């Protein structure tokens, strides 16, 4: 009957709206761009758009076992020019190479931190102008595989 159909439709709507409220589920590249804007905005904005500034999905070009299951953005310089990250539900875990006190890159180590994907979206992907900015950066990311094949 009509009442049952209405109730069923209302339950579907409630279920749909609660699942989309959590996260718009941006893709991996977009997550990397928002993360870069949070942790290394100057570095990111300086190099994005250059041929050597690239994105690599997890597992495609593993650098080491420590980051084999991480995607990354890189300016293809020394180890400090890589931002590794992976998404698990609402948690974005990221690793960056920190140089030692002696300023010697080789003596550095990975620092691992986390941030919530929903907070990244709240900070960088709500208004149309924010989405336009982030999507513009995403469109400028080169493929690391293409870069490595050409160089």
CB-CB neighbours of 24 under 10 Å: 13
Q: DSSP code of 141?
A: P
pLDDT digits (tens, 9 = 90+) for 65-89: 889 999 999 999 888 999 999 999 9
Judged against a pLDDT cut of 90, whether residue 62 lies above it is answered with: no
Of the pLDDT bands very low, low, confident and very high (cuts 50, 70, 90), residue 105 is: confident
Q: Tell me what the pLDDT averaged over the chain comes to.
A: 86
Angstrom distance (rounded) from CA 49 to CA 59: 23
Coil, strand or helix at 80? helix
Cβ distance 70 to 85 under 8 Å? Answer: yes
Classify strands 82-88 and 109-116 as parallel, antiparallel or unpaired. unpaired
């Amino acid at each position: 009957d009509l009442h049952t159909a209405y109730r069923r439709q209302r339950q579907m709507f409630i279920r749909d709206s609660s699942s989309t409220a959590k996260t718009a589920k941006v893709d991996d590249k977009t997550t990397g761009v928002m993360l870069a804007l949070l942790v290394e905005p100057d570095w990111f904005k300086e190099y994005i758009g250059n041929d050597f500034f690239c994105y690599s999905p997890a597992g495609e070009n593993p650098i080491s076992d420590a980051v084999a299951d991480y995607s990354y953005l890189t300016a293809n310089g020394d180890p400090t020019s890589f931002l590794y990250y992976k998404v698990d539900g609402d948690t974005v875990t990221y690793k960056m190479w920190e140089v030692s006190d002696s300023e010697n890159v080789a003596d550095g180590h990975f620092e691992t931190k986390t941030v919530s994907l929903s907070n990244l979206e709240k900070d960088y992907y709500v208004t149309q102008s924010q989405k336009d900015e982030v999507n513009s950066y995403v469109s400028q990311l080169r493929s690391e595989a293409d870069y490595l094949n050409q160089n």
